[in-house]
Amino acid sequence: MLSDAELVTLAVMSTLLGYISERRWLRYARVELAGMFPYLPLQPG
């Protein structure tokens, strides 16, 4: 489960990196950020 701090960090990172689509952001995060965030939701929402 994501902590509040992890959730806020992911939201800020997605905005700073210019991701508009949450689905694309999660796909990117699963590949590139898996070591920093061991749990990521499987689908947007």
pLDDT digits (tens, 9 = 90+) for 7-29: 899 999 999 999 999 999 989 99
How many alpha carbons lie under 13 Å from residue 3 in its C-beta half-sphere?
6
User: Is the overall model pTM greater than 0.85, yes or no?
Assistant: no
Q: Which residue has the higher pLDDT, 40 or 43?
A: 40
Distances in whole angstroms, Cα of residue 18 to Cα of each of 10, 32, 37, 38, 42: 12, 15, 19, 22, 20
Q: Residue 1: which residues within 8 A CB-CB, separation 6 or more?
A: 39
Tell me the C-alpha distance between 4 and 19, whole Å: 20
Tell me the C-alpha distance between 14 and 34, whole Å: 15
